[in-house]
Amino acid sequence: MRIDMHAPILGKNDALAAELRELFAAKGVYVLNLLASPGSGKTSTILATIDGLRDEFNIAVIEGDIASSVDAETIKRQGLPAVQINTGGSCHLESAMMKRAVEVLDLDRLDLIIVENVGNLVCTTDFDLGENAKAVILSVPEGDDKPLKYPGIFEISDAVLLNKVDTLPVFDFDTAAFEERVRALNPAAPLFPMAATKGSGVQEWTSWLGGQIRACQEQGA
């Protein structure tokens, strides 16, 4: 006899995620779920995103990690509210974890919550957190073949960020092949080449994200 626990777990997660989505909509808060592997530049991308949007929007960050609070402390030094979720070994965030983090934030004072999910290109794809959008970050040193190896994360993402493009001269990364592979999986998602620590390409990304936030706010008005 085989018992499949996957469906019940996801069902419970998705029900709570739907409640969170209703809460965010009622409060006019846009939630972005950032997915990436370790070392892709998630935190530096978040910092660059904050710099590009903080003059217009009130932002908070939820940091997911297996252990430590290093990333949350980095965000707090920017003067923004940040909540650390330590998963205790789990390779992804779940909606129950998200709910506990949201409870300590003042949603009435926020426009945008950026969620830095646990560094993982596999199981983070399955768990809805009530977000408005998922974005995947891939860095040039990781290789242009990642859409072939991890198609699921590219299929479900609303935007694709190719980070560390300043390192292209020293890595064997075929940008045309990468874009073709992404487009085969997800023709609609915009692709943003960028170097978060250098500022290159950040404006294009933040302009798109800002437009998404404003559209969400207008719908809820």
| 113 neighbors 62 (Cβ within 8 angstroms) | yes
For 65, 136, 192, the CA distances from 150, given in Å and listed in that order, are 20, 11, 19
Alpha carbon distance 77, 221 (integer Å): 32
CB 127 within 8 A of CB 153: no
Q: State which of 6-10, 115-119, 156-160 shows the largest mean pLDDT.
A: 156-160
Q: Give yes or no for a contact between 124 and 153, defined as CB atoms under 8 angstroms apart.
A: yes
Tokens coding 59: 């932002």
pTM over 0.85: yes
User: Is pLDDT of 180 > 80?
Assistant: yes
Q: Report the range of poorest mean pLDDT among 30-39, 44-53, 112-121.
A: 112-121
* Full 3-state SS string of the chain: CCCCCHHHHHHHHHHHHHHHHHHHHHHCCEEEEEEECCCCCHHHHHHHHHHHHCCCCCEEEEEEECCCCHHHHHHHCCCCCEEEEECCCCCCCCHHHHHHHHCCCCHHHCCEEEEECCCCCCHHHCCCCCCCEEEEEEEHHHCCCHHHHCHHHHHCCCEEEEECHHHHHHCCCCHHHHHHHHHHHCCCCCEEECECCCCECHHHHHHHHHHHHHHHHHHHC
CA distance to 60, 75, 107, 119, 166, per residue, from 29 (Å): 10, 19, 7, 24, 33
Residue 118 CB neighbours (<10 A):
22
**What does the mean pLDDT of the chain come to?**
90
pLDDT for the residue numbered 1: 44
pLDDT score of 6 more than 80: no
Asked if 30 and 59 touch (Cβ cutoff 8 Å), the reply is no
For the chain, domains (ranges, CATH) are: 6-220 (3.40.50.300)
Distance CA 126, CA 153 (A): 9
Reported as a single tens digit per residue, the pLDDT across 141-171 is 999 999 999 999 999 999 999 999 999 999 9
